[in-house]
Structure 1
Amino acid sequence: MAASLGEKIRRHRQKKGYSLDKLAELTESSKSYIWELENRDTRKPSGEKLTKIAEALSVTTDYLLDESAEPDEEVVKEAFFRKLSKLDPDDRKKIEQLVDMWRKKD
């Protein structure tokens, strides 16, 4: 099932429990701008804005732009690892330690 940019933004915003206001805040946008992206196909965000939206929604920009793409585990993993790579090295180390602790519980 093909989904437009606006449909994907709305779906993932709602999935994360974000209001229009919250997503606007996270992406340094206005509420009306996010609403227009979700509801009017004529609005096309800049690359910078699209990147901020993708990061806030934990998806990739490629996924948002490709109308035939559906979210899958690889898209989610790629978005997660992109966020992880931007963390401070000490914070990354803490996350690695947490993952190691969880794996030892199994």
Structure 2
Amino acid sequence: MIGERIKRLREKKGFSITELARLADVSKSYLSQIERGLQSNPSMQFLKKIAIPLETSLDYLLMDGNSQGQPKMKLDDEWKLLIQQAVDKGLKKEDFQEYLNYIQFQSWLKEQNKT
């Protein structure tokens, strides 16, 4: 949940809700509602503002990704072959990142529609 990740990062940084709200230039009461799960669908603008003082990515705030120290999965031979084929066909890192962002966003939208 987005609010739990924000709260965890805020506490790890040693910020109070008041401090983070001031640093991010967002409403303290809205930030509190997000953290407590009373609001569960913050705008991208809000998340961008929050991500800066928390020194995190939008991907991490939106998803349960590996960007904050969770163990990474090792690539098996099938993954390596798929990646090599994509590179051989001209796929660039930026293209792959854009596609990955799209897939993550679509997963996030599906999750939001469940609630």
Normalising by structure 1, what TM-score?
0.59
Q: Which consecutive residues of structure 2, in runs of 5 or more, have no partner in the other structure?
A: 71-115
* Cα distance in 1, alignment partners of residues 38 and 65 from structure 2: 17
What residue is the counterpart of 1:22 in the other structure? Answer: 19
Could you list the structure 1 runs, at least 4 aligned residues long, displaced by more than 3 angstroms after superposition: none
Identity %: 41
After TM superposition, give the deviation of residue 72 of structure 1 in Å: 2.4
* Cα distance in 2, alignment partners of residues 47 and 69 from structure 1: 17
Within-5 A mapping of 1:47-58: 47-58=44-55
Amino acid at match of 2:65: A
- Give the alignment partner of residue 35 of structure 1, picking from 19, 32, 36: 32
After TM superposition, give the deviation of residue 10 of structure 1 in Å: 0.4
**Are residues 34 and 42 of structure 1, via their aligned partners in 2, closer, same or farther at CA, if it must alter by over 3 Å?**
closer
Whose relative contact order is higher, 1 or 2, with alpha carbons under 8 Å and at least 6 apart?
A: 1
* Cα distance in 1, alignment partners of residues 15 and 36 from structure 2: 16
Q: Which consecutive residues of structure 1, in runs of 5 or more, have no partner in the other structure?
A: 74-106
Normalising by structure 2, what TM-score?
0.55
Residue correspondences, number: 69
Q: Greater CA radius of gyration, 1 or 2?
A: 2
The Cα RMSD (Å) is 1.7
**Are the counterparts in 2 of residues 6 and 41 from structure 1 also a CA contact under 8 Å?**
no
**Are the counterparts in 1 of residues 17 and 28 from structure 2 also a CA contact under 8 Å?**
yes
